[in-house]
Amino acid sequence: MIPCWRYLRSSKSVLGFVFVASVIWLLLDMAVLRLSVRDVNTRLLKERVIRRQDLTRRQDKVTPLMETFLEESVVKQEVSDKVSDGVDVQPVGLYRRRKDKAAVKDNQNRRGNPSKVKPDSVAKEPVDLQNGVEKNDSVALSRRAVNAKIIEPAKAAPNTSVRVFNQPRAVKEQPPVQELPLKEDNQKEPPNQGARNTSSAKDEKLQLQNNSIVAHPVKASVHQVLSLDATAAPRDPDAVGQFGQPATVPSEDSVKMKQRWNEGFFNVYLSEQIPLDRAIPDTRPEICAGNVVHDELPSTSVILCFVDEVWSTLLRSVHSVLNRSPPHLLKEIILVDDFSKKRYLKENLDHYMANFSKVRIIHLQERQGLIRARMAGAAVATGEVLTFLDSHVECNVGWLEPLLERIYLDRSKVACPVIDVISDQDMSYKMVDNFQRGIFTWPLTFGWNALSDEYVKKNNMTAADPIRCPVMAGGLFSIDKKYFYQLGAYDPGLEVWGGENMEISFKVWMCGGQIEIIPCSRVGHIFRGQNPYQFPNDRRKTVERNLARVAEVWLDEYKELFYGHGYRHLLDNIVSDIGDLSQQIQLRAKLKCKSFKWYLDNVYPELEAPLVKAAGLVFNRGLRTCLSVHAGVLFFETCDLSKQSQHFNYTWLKQIRQEDMCVDHNEGRLILQPCSVERTALHWLHKSSKSKLPQHLVAENGGKQACMEVIKSSKVHILHLAACNVDSLFQQWEFTNYYAQ
Ligand code: UD2
Ligand code: MN
């Protein structure tokens, strides 16, 4: 060191030194760039050419959001370099996330003052990293060499423009992950590992009926989640939509924009101007930055199915996976072309993707629908985990490892990222609220539900904790491949689109697994107002049919709620329309899955699911006595709750029912008949909000209405169907209890 300083004292020498250093610097930089353009797949780690743009020069154009991103991308790069072996995971003062108001303000303050964009704050940290490298053992070194590049901050002179380059000397070829030396088992589970600790996970055998799935032998060596974000070339901060910012179409282009809208039912025109590898804001909760994951995570095949997807969004989806997934975990990307009609999705796509050795394309020869298309992808997948994505997504930094971590800890867990929103209008990337879970309401309608503050407090939840989901949205999730097949994959009888998210969700929960949203994993998705592709048959009927299959197989007696809440019409032709279910029913029996009641009690107790709409005695207001059954015949007697013969249910299928017998009518006389879902004559309207006769029991018969009435007699009261009369008390009935309107 001392001789060096002496040398530098002479100003000539200083100039010479700076010149030589700059030339070396430039050469190294060019070398990295050349390497990186060619083969993104195999050299992703090498290619993390994260370039801090010269903020000083561009100060006038850098918005706070950009600035945040620029700073973060560099800082995170360093963090990911600190790939740890469980020895020196330093949680992160390094991450400076600036979502909060104070941070935004801070950013705004810094905007006008270039000198406050502190290059040295970026440069400082890696000195520790360097020390860390020196401190650690050879295992640590080799793993670092595999997983990270090393930034040498000493060379980045403070207060010059901030540019952080790859250091090619530290980049080595990626060996297969299993060749990594493993640490001893006796290391501690990281404190922020969520629900389970190592020792319990280690011994755990997950039972799935007769097949026991043994959790991975848990090695305690961990590293901080890798926040990779590779690009083949430096990003242009001025590009349209860069940093996930909203973009606008100039007014002179609005006609073109409208013309192209229907190609995808989002702003296709704008999408084409946005870089395929644009940066997006890191929307993970701040706490995620400190998370660690195990070194031995399983690899995954990412499966994207598409039909007539827009070119730019499909490619952006693929690039976001390639650029932001640790290469050793990304076994392959399987693109399943579900018999698209667009020509660019054939040879052009093949040609483009030929540049990326990890991308495989399957062109289906017949339209299969997304469900069977996913299964076609799964059938050829070689990764240990299947990760399904829609074809218009952008995976965020650090998205993959937290998903795989959950599966690594428990193979029966199905892990979903938080689905951020990519605006269909301006293509901006928007963070969604944390603490949301996937739910459904009747009749199996998917929705989001915010966890209440009380729930969050009561369970001591942090923003990074996995959120149990009664159902998943459907499009984006990771599942252990073996587990997927043990569950019988999807019902292949589901057509085109819809319902498969319910099917897999019920199947997972009822057959021993769990579904979680992992807040530290974020993937943006373009939610469209309409499906931009054709349905081979009627869309509504297709979805209804799929849902009916799911209801018939999984809902047990609760399927009445499904039909009663909107799909009663399906019952008329159910057998012929929904196809053969025997295999699915057999599968459920074989897997010894739990009942739907168990699911409601244990997974989704908040759902209102009374099995009947009303129950108890059926009281007539005019006669002031109750309906009863004796020897299979209806008659009236003094109301007595203790008599089972007076108990009736008013069901979701609008039957008045006692055990297996239902109140029916024949030529105006009321009789009891064995219940049958197909028999529409058994359909009674009661307390219907739309009806002008809410107290009545209205039989709908071929469009004509008639009301149940009792005629008072000194001998036997006569029960019959009569023309409806709003005022007649002898036509007004009341059940003891009402559970739903
Ligand atoms: C949501 C899910 C979607 C799926 C659907 C219900 C998310 C983000 N998306 O609707 O994955 O679960 O609910 O079924 O949770 N596709 C085909 N073949 C077809 C139809 C669609 O390959 O016949 C592709 C399509 O190109 C897309 C994916 O399947 O990549 C999902 O379709 P979508 O985006 O229209 O569904 P979405 O997001 O409205
Ligand atoms: Mn979608």
Q: Tell me if 473 CB under 6 Å of ligand 1.
A: yes
Calculate how far, in angstroms, residue 474's C-alpha sits from the geometric centre of ligand 2: 9
Q: Which DSSP letter does residue 707 get?
A: E
- Contacts for 667 with CB less than 8 Å, ≥ 6 apart: none
Q: Tell me if 636 CB under 6 Å of ligand 1.
A: no
**Cβ of 588: how many Cβ atoms within 10 Å?**
19
Query: What residue spans of 555-706 are helical by DSSP H?
Result: 559-562, 574-578, 582-590, 596-602
pLDDT category of residue 226 using cuts at 50, 70 and 90 = very high
Calculate how far, in angstroms, residue 396's C-alpha sits from the geometric centre of ligand 2: 16
Return the sign of the alpha-carbon dihedral for residues 521, 525, 531, 535. Answer: negative
Round to whole Å and give the CA distance between 303 and 381: 8
- What b/e string do you get for 627-665 counting C-beta neighbours within 10 Å, with b at 16 or more? bbbeeeebbbeebeeeeeebbbbbbbbbbbbbeebbbbb
CA distance readout (Å), 239 to 243, 245, 395, 597: 9, 10, 19, 53
- Closest ligand 1 atom to Cα of 525: 8
- Contacts for 89 with CB less than 8 Å, ≥ 6 apart: 82, 190, 222, 223, 224, 292
Calculate how far, in angstroms, residue 333's C-alpha sits from the geometric centre of ligand 2: 17
Q: Tell me if 603 CB under 6 Å of ligand 1.
A: no
Calculate how far, in angstroms, residue 62's C-alpha sits from the geometric centre of ligand 1: 36
Q: If you take atom 7 of ligand 1, which residue's CA is the nearest one?
A: 475
Round to whole Å and give the CA distance between 322 and 311: 17
- Nearest residue to 160 (alpha-carbon basis) of 110, 123, 108: 123
- What b/e string do you get for 470-502 counting C-beta neighbours within 10 Å, with b at 16 or more? bbbbbbbbbbbbebbebbbbbbebbbbbbbbbb
409-425 pLDDT, tens digit each = 999 999 999 999 999 99
CA distance readout (Å), 225 to 95, 293, 319: 12, 6, 20
Q: Collapsing DSSP states into helix, strand and coil, what is residue 138?
A: helix
DSSP for 61-72 reads G--HHHHHHHHH
Q: Tell me if 390 CB under 6 Å of ligand 1.
A: yes
pLDDT category of residue 13 using cuts at 50, 70 and 90 = low
- Nearest residue to 41 (alpha-carbon basis) of 166, 226, 173: 173
Round to whole Å and give the CA distance between 137 and 190: 20
Greatest extent of the chain over all pairs of C-alpha atoms, in Å = 126
Round to whole Å and give the CA distance between 446 and 436: 13
175 vs 398, residue with greater confidence: 398
Round to whole Å and give the CA distance between 496 and 537: 9
Calculate how far, in angstroms, residue 316's C-alpha sits from the geometric centre of ligand 1: 17
pLDDT above 70 for 54: no
Task: Kindly give the pairing relationship between strand 300-306 and strand 385-389.
Answer: parallel
Q: Tell me if 503 CB under 6 Å of ligand 1.
A: no
Q: If you take atom 32 of ligand 1, which residue's CA is the nearest one?
A: 390
Q: Tell me if 306 CB under 6 Å of ligand 1.
A: yes
667-685 pLDDT, tens digit each = 889 999 999 876 655 789 9
- Closest ligand 1 atom to Cα of 338: 22
Q: Tell me if 391 CB under 6 Å of ligand 1.
A: yes
Q: Are 698 and 720 in contact (CB under 8 A)?
A: no
Q: If you take atom 2 of ligand 1, which residue's CA is the nearest one?
A: 475
pLDDT score, position 50: 26
pLDDT score, position 39: 33
Q: If you take atom 11 of ligand 1, which residue's CA is the nearest one?
A: 475
- Contacts for 97 with CB less than 8 Å, ≥ 6 apart: 68, 72, 103, 282, 284, 286, 289
pLDDT above 80 for 190: no
Calculate how far, in angstroms, residue 103's C-alpha sits from the geometric centre of ligand 2: 33
283-326 pLDDT, tens digit each = 999 999 889 999 999 999 999 999 999 999 999 999 999 999 99
Please work out, in degrees rounded to the nearest 5, the angle formed at the alpha carbon of residue 501 by the alpha carbons of 427 and 442: 100
pLDDT category of residue 211 using cuts at 50, 70 and 90 = very low
Q: Tell me if 369 CB under 6 Å of ligand 1.
A: yes
Select from 337, 361, 370, 500 the residue to mutate for testing ligand 1; criterion: most ligand atoms less than 8 Å from CB: 370
- Closest ligand 1 atom to Cα of 497: 14
Q: Tell me if 338 CB under 6 Å of ligand 1.
A: yes
Per this entry, what is the length of the chain?
A: 741
pLDDT above 70 for 251: yes
Token couple for 319: 């690039």
pLDDT score, position 302: 99
- Closest ligand 1 atom to Cα of 392: 30
Calculate how far, in angstroms, residue 458's C-alpha sits from the geometric centre of ligand 1: 35
477 vs 154, residue with greater confidence: 477
Which ligand is nearest the CA of 416, by number?
1
- Contacts for 354 with CB less than 8 Å, ≥ 6 apart: none
Token couple for 548: 């009916």
- Nearest residue to 595 (alpha-carbon basis) of 559, 545, 565, 571: 559
DSSP for 630-657 reads ETTEEEEE---TT-GGGEEEEETT--EE
Mean pLDDT of the chain: 77
How many DSSP H helices and E strands does the chain contain? 21, 28
Q: Tell me if 496 CB under 6 Å of ligand 1.
A: yes
105-146 pLDDT, tens digit each = 333 333 333 222 222 222 222 222 222 222 222 222 222 222
Cis peptide upstream of residue 443 (ω within 30 degrees of 0):
yes
Q: Collapsing DSSP states into helix, strand and coil, what is residue 673?
A: strand
- Contacts for 214 with CB less than 8 Å, ≥ 6 apart: 204, 205, 206
Q: Are 731 and 705 in contact (CB under 8 A)?
A: no
Q: Collapsing DSSP states into helix, strand and coil, what is residue 250?
A: coil
Q: Collapsing DSSP states into helix, strand and coil, what is residue 85?
A: coil
Query: What residue spans of 279-357 are helical by DSSP H?
Result: 311-324, 347-353
Q: Tell me if 389 CB under 6 Å of ligand 1.
A: no
Domain ranges of the chain: 2-100, 612-738
pLDDT above 60 for 187: no
Q: If you take atom 29 of ligand 1, which residue's CA is the nearest one?
A: 370
Round to whole Å and give the CA distance between 682 and 656: 8
Q: If you take atom 34 of ligand 1, which residue's CA is the nearest one?
A: 390
Which ligand is nearest the CA of 335, by number?
1
Token couple for 264: 């995808």
- Identify residue 494 by its one-letter amino acid code: L
Q: Looking at residues 223-240, what average pLDDT do you find?
A: 95
User: Count of alpha carbons within 13 Å of 190, Cβ hemisphere only?
Assistant: 25
Q: If you take atom 9 of ligand 1, which residue's CA is the nearest one?
A: 475
- Identify residue 714 by its one-letter amino acid code: S
Calculate how far, in angstroms, residue 391's C-alpha sits from the geometric centre of ligand 2: 7
Calculate how far, in angstroms, residue 490's C-alpha sits from the geometric centre of ligand 1: 14
Q: Tell me if 305 CB under 6 Å of ligand 1.
A: yes
Kindly state the helix (H) or strand (E) to which residue 724 belongs, with its residue range.
none
- Contacts for 314 with CB less than 8 Å, ≥ 6 apart: 304, 306, 335, 345, 349, 391, 392
pLDDT category of residue 176 using cuts at 50, 70 and 90 = very low
38 vs 28, residue with greater confidence: 28
CA distance readout (Å), 52 to 161, 162, 169, 544: 9, 6, 20, 52
Fold of 612-738: Trefoil (Acidic Fibroblast Growth Factor, subunit A) (2.80.10)
Task: Kindly give the pairing relationship between strand 359-363 and strand 330-337.
Answer: parallel
Q: Both ends of the chain: CA-CA distance in Å? A: 84
- Closest ligand 1 atom to Cα of 496: 23
Among left, alpha and beta (phi > 0; psi -120 to 50; other), residue 483 is: alpha
pTM: 0.74
Q: Tell me if 476 CB under 6 Å of ligand 1.
A: yes
pLDDT category of residue 16 using cuts at 50, 70 and 90 = low
Q: Tell me the helix, strand and coil percentages in the chain, rounded to 5.
A: 35, 20, 45
pLDDT score, position 690: 77
Calculate how far, in angstroms, residue 322's C-alpha sits from the geometric centre of ligand 2: 19
